Structure 1
């Protein structure tokens, strides 16, 4: 018949390999127009060329085969638009992650990059807090829910914040990807409501720096602060303190965010002070 193409010719015209075309046949994504009953040769119609090229474009963009099949089989323009829109959102998220990684790498590769660190002894702080053991992948969602509950409890109790909100992160949260996390808001008279409980944070000796911008590369600041602590012969003692001077609850502009990171520290004993028992 006219427009009948062998799988080899169809491969050349669409830039899809024979192996790929066979796979698409097996999965039902792109079936041949005709299969010879005696030789089992696959033949394609010229009208399938645009379909094959559409599939290739979507695969180049990383769309899953199953979604492409749904897209091609749907006769509903709205449904097709929703499938394409959903995939475009994934691409945009991937692009954002790539940009964040590039920005972090530029910081790591810049020999002139530095941070300002100060040693600071904090005062005792009275706060309303929520603390739980959290898995590392759940930290952001847990934090958002906890802060919402905290703010609601403080509003109901008529207790205004006396300082910026903060968090205490146990070492296990970093080393074991699961550990205790406490978020708090300083207030004069902390209420008890739901998960909200009073908390007294004792005075602590900290090495403090400020991370500027989004939290996607906050690990770079953590690393730089850790090097400073090591270079000054200090040891880390206790949970990491974070104070959210400016954060997502204050402004959607991530470039304006300011997160204070404080590592509890203790001086490393000198050789003359070291004892062996």
Structure 2
């Protein structure tokens, strides 16, 4: 075996920036296989042209891309690798945007107080019959789900046609962010004495919501886009706990005015949380 074009694992480690332990691991997982393994000593040798591949592996792992995904990307076309890196960049920029917004929100709460930023009022919500499409997901899939769900809901509503009794709204049964999944329901309220929906697709139902008292605040423009809108949820939750009420159901995001573009200045959302008097101990 001509070893003049080969580097022993120690030298290859220095050239690639990967530890000897990491190189052994990538060999065992099939990500970076040495060009030659001495049958007597078991010592690994790598070709010089494998250095750039090893450096790419190091960079991909530093981006927290799993080993199996790294192997798939390196075995695929260059276009796939470019697309994956661009997707990773967008995700990193989005996380940075969320973190920046969270810091600004916390600073605002510390200097101004939540209620100075979001005025909370109480209104009575009427009993409603609603057309519902639900799914369990986290925030990364929320926009796509809502677009698809409302397309289906309005298609079904148009067959009646249904008589709407209020704006569309979304119910969140728990925390929906980048780390937590919850049941999310897209809802259309309609007149119970008018035309009724028929031939509902799988996963779509009709539900009855009882009359309820709602603690509410409204946000407009950029404040209605994620993650800025989270401050409105926090303000309503703080108001409910601070005034001694009990949470009585999933929080609602009501589309009071919506252009279809998340940060459009004309957008207006209402965050409405069902409340009740606290139960006596």
| TM-score, normalisation: structure 2 | 0.73
CA shift, 1:19, in A, is 0.8
Distance 1:222 1:59, change over 3 A: same
Aligned residue in 1 for 2:196 = 191
Q: Which has the larger radius of gyration?
A: 1
Q: Give 1:121's match in structure 2, choosing from 114, 121, 124.
A: 124
- Aligned to 2:189, the other structure's residue is in SS state strand
CA apart distance, 1:41: 1.9
* Structure 1 residues 56-114: Cα deviation after superposition (integer angstroms, max 9, x where no partner): 2332333333343344445xxxx331243134324423431342233124312332252
User: Please, which runs of 5 or more residues in structure 1 have no aligned partner?
Assistant: none
Name the stretch that deviates more: 4-13 or 137-146: 137-146
Task: From 7, 10, 13, give the equivalent of 2:9.
Answer: 7
1:16 and 2:18 equivalent?
yes
Secondary structure, counterpart of 2:166 in structure 1: coil
Name the TM-score, length of structure 1 as normaliser: 0.74
2:172 touches 2:182 (CA, 8 Å); kept in 1? Answer: no
CA RMSD of aligned residues (A): 3.7
SS in 2 for 1:209: strand
Q: CA deviation at 1:155?
A: 1.9
User: Cα deviations across residues 31-69 of structure 1 (Å, max 9, x unaligned)?
Assistant: 223322322222233232222222223323333333433
How do 1:1-277 and structure 2 match up within 5 A?
A: 1-74=3-76, 79-110=77-108, 111=110, 112=112, 114-122=117-125, 124=126, 128-130=130-132, 135=136, 137=138, 140=142, 143-159=146-162, 161=164, 163-168=166-171, 173=174, 181=185, 183-187=187-191, 189-193=194-198, 194=200, 195=204, 197=206, 199=208, 202=211, 204-211=212-219, 212-216=223-227, 218-247=229-258, 250-254=259-263, 256=265, 257-267=267-277
**Following the alignment from structure 2 to structure 1, what is the Cα–Cα distance between the partners of residues 195 and 145?**
21
Which has the larger displacement, 16-25 or 81-90? 81-90
Alpha-carbon distance between aligned partners in 1 of 2:13 and 2:171, rounded to the nearest angstrom: 59
Question: CA separation in 1, counterparts of 2:43 and 2:209?
Answer: 77
State the SS of the aligned residue for 2:90: helix
- When residues 17 and 259 of structure 1 are mapped into structure 2, their CA distance, relative to the original with a 3 A threshold, is same
Q: How many residues align?
A: 260
Which stretch shifts more, 64-73 or 42-51? 64-73
